[in-house]
A = this chain, B = another copy of it.
């Protein structure tokens, strides 16, 4: 009944000795509760968020639906383990292309330990996070039946500089994304990034909320973009934007999350530039 999803591009992947996420065939995603208190913090976030009446519906749709926590056999066969039961955003789609973008120029939360801050500071500094306000954590792009997916190695993505990010965001919406030598054609840019339900419109909706909301600060949270390559003349909305990874969400204490918002504005600028060209 449970399977290891093949679409994961970031985060802890199931392998020998490491518990990874599972999916079932009814559209649910099982995320094992992480160690070091992270799992219980993320569970606590989902519980509180689900019942928070201050979240408007047009914003709630940017978060995966939470169906509770369930003990199931871990992906490595090591026995029962608690899992967050979430909406499966990816596997229910045909040939999804996806990108995981970790938001914020810094990834540590205010009350983190000195050791954790030092670790995050170093990792952030080696990425585009301080310069861009975000970093690409991973992605995969579907080419076609012959070429299949282009999914760069994690280490390769971790070494991205500003220009690599620009190229990846172009390649992500190109029909020739698997042609690593050629210039990306951005054939799907208008369909995926543009339009009334495209990435840009959705990010601008999120931005409007983040300019005002002082409830929550989302440290080390990602924006997940998912779409299917459809024929250019098909006009259905095919893009999903979700926020994921809430182990380090803290109370906003009446202040906006300028760390997330600054990175969001920066990402919006990158996407806008691709649309303008």
Contact = CB atoms under 8 A, between A and B. Distances in A.
A132 B214 CA distance: 11
Interface residues of A, number: 24
A138 interface: no
Given A258-B133, A258-B263, A269-B214, A253 B110 contact: no
A132 B262 CA distance: 12
B162 A132 contact: no
In the A-B complex, list the 3 residue pairs whose CB atoms are closest, starting with the nearest. A262-B262, A258-B262, A133-B258
A18 to B, nearest CB: 33
Interface in A254-269: 254-256, 258-259, 261-263, 265-266, 268-269
B258 A265 contact: yes
A134 to B, nearest CB: 9
A269 B253 contact: no
Interface string A124-135: 000000111100
A258 B103 CA distance: 12
A185 interface: no
Nearest to A270: B255
A253 to B, nearest CB: 7
Contacts of A256: 265-266, 269
Given A256-B269, A258-B262, 13 more contacts: A105-B105, A105-B259, A110-B130, A110-B131, A131-B255, A133-B262, A162-B254, A162-B255, A255-B269, A256-B265, A258-B266, A259-B262, A261-B262
